[in-house]
Amino acid sequence: MKESHITKLITANDKPALRTIISAALLLAWPAIVEQIMLTAVQYVDTAMVGRLGADATAAVGLTTSPTWMFHGIFAATAMGFSVQVAQHLGAERGEKARRVVAQSLRVVAVLGICLGTLGVVVSFPLPYWLGAEPEIIKPASTYFRIMACGMPLTFGVQMISSMFRCSGDTKSPMILNTMVNVINVILNFLFIYPTRPLTLLGVTFTMPGLGLGVSGAALASVTSTGTIFMVFLWILFNREGPIRLSKGVDSRLDKQCVGTAFRLGLPIAMERLAMSGAQVMQTSIITEIGTVSLAAHHLAVTAESISYAPAFGVSQSATAMVGQAIGAGRKDLAMYFAKISIVMGMIIMTMGGAVLFVFSEPLIKIFSDDPEVIVLGSQVLRVVAFAEPLFGASIVSSGTLRGAGDSKFPFIISLSTMWGVRITLSMLLAARMGLVGVWLAMAIELMTRGSIFLIRVLRGKWVNSRLFKEN
């Protein structure tokens, strides 16, 4: 959906027909949905490649997933703090201010990305010990996280620019480029993970070159592919015509109001992500005590579950852009319509995803592993969480809606309360009695609780009065 379509809708004097609003929501959401589906599909292939190295390799990567999400959560929060400003500036027809926000965000990417990447390298050495890893996976887990930390500035840059494009109404460019990141990653995995070996394709046998780096090769492939596409993102940002195109002389000096607003909006999001990631780290440590098989099954089940919720994140991203521009233009009526339509879309998608998880739980785990114990345990927990997916979808899209309006405190408070008050508490109680199944039962209960609370918040409608700028 082009930016002009959004602008035309939110600046119309009369109230658009419901069909027109739904059409606008779908036009903006579908590229984001496709992007998330493609990312998930490639993630499946990526995880399956590592899974073929054995349960220890899977556990080594799985051990570092939660800490990686913690760092990425800070990146996502910072990106949201700047990109929501872009959406509201564009909605209010303040194009020059929007471009200045984009320019300043790149400075923040450089400084904060390097700082957090350095912290990640330092933390990579003791991290497996902190998480209680078994001896055989300590070294590969540490090396994997250290390599990924070196690429954090690049990952941050891709997240930031992607978010800027989406909030300007361009969801197609992030869809194409972020899919390319993962396609390149899979190709490099073949070269970096496995040693040189004979392969047969379509009846033709040939020698496939490879470095045989194992788990480290998977991390190196991720960093290389991300860096390549980051450079493409930068080129587009400076050379392609559009509402946020940057010229070489654009003023990128940090502005007090811009940075302050980003901090005010992004801090609760960062705290939310840290609270959730911290809870996931705690959950991982609980699972680690159960054993390597449970840790491997948990990691693969989390990857498999993403097939159900990935599209909902696409809807959430489009909801942030639509609501942000509607609020910026003073169209509270459209903001509420966009919110309700987006939430319904997310819940429908997640209901279908939950059905897929329940019916195809075992085949989904078999994609990643041929270990019988891992397959049985992973499929069991997928069937448990399948029932929570509709309300999980409600929480994902509602969160994006509220952030588009500048209301980031409520998602933080609720996520903090439910993750630590419900998920972790129940996990500690149920893990001893039910093992990994108990941990996932606790997760399902928490997801349904969180989704119900978010729904109530959005439907009450007080969030439409949120303000980022005095001139609004």
Tokens of 310: 């990935």
Q: Give the model's confidence band at 2: pLDDT under 50 very low, under 70 low, under 90 confident, else very high.
A: very low
Tokens of 105: 């965000």
Tokens of 293: 């098989």
Q: Give the model's confidence band at 186: pLDDT under 50 very low, under 70 low, under 90 confident, else very high.
A: confident
CA gap 332, 70 in Å, rounded: 33
CA gap 377, 375 in Å, rounded: 6
Which of the given ranges, 229-233, 271-275, 311-315, 403-407, has the highest pLDDT on average? Answer: 229-233
160 phi and psi angles, rounded to 5 deg: -65, -50
Q: Are 263 and 63 in contact (CB under 8 A)?
A: no
206 phi and psi angles, rounded to 5 deg: -145, 165
Is the pLDDT at 45 greater than 70? The verdict is no
Tokens of 192: 């970096």
What is the predicted pLDDT for the residue at 400? 87
Angle (CA) 137 142 143, round 5°: 105
Task: List the chain domain ranges.
Answer: 3-465
Q: Is 265 helix (H, G, I), strand (E, B) or coil?
A: helix
Average pLDDT over residues 356-372: 86
Does pTM top 0.95 for this prediction?
Answer: no
Q: Are 163 and 80 in contact (CB under 8 A)?
A: yes
CA gap 123, 125 in Å, rounded: 6
Q: Are 400 and 320 in contact (CB under 8 A)?
A: yes
Q: Are 398 and 455 in contact (CB under 8 A)?
A: yes
Average pLDDT over residues 258-267: 86
Q: Are 349 and 26 in contact (CB under 8 A)?
A: no
Q: Is 105 helix (H, G, I), strand (E, B) or coil?
A: helix
Q: Are 261 and 81 in contact (CB under 8 A)?
A: yes
Q: How far is CA 403 from CA 9, 171, 448, in A?
A: 20, 17, 20
Q: What is the per-residue pLDDT across 82-114, written as a single tens digit (0 to 9) for each?
A: 988 888 888 878 888 889 999 999 999 999 999
What is the predicted pLDDT for the residue at 468? 63
Q: Is 117 helix (H, G, I), strand (E, B) or coil?
A: helix
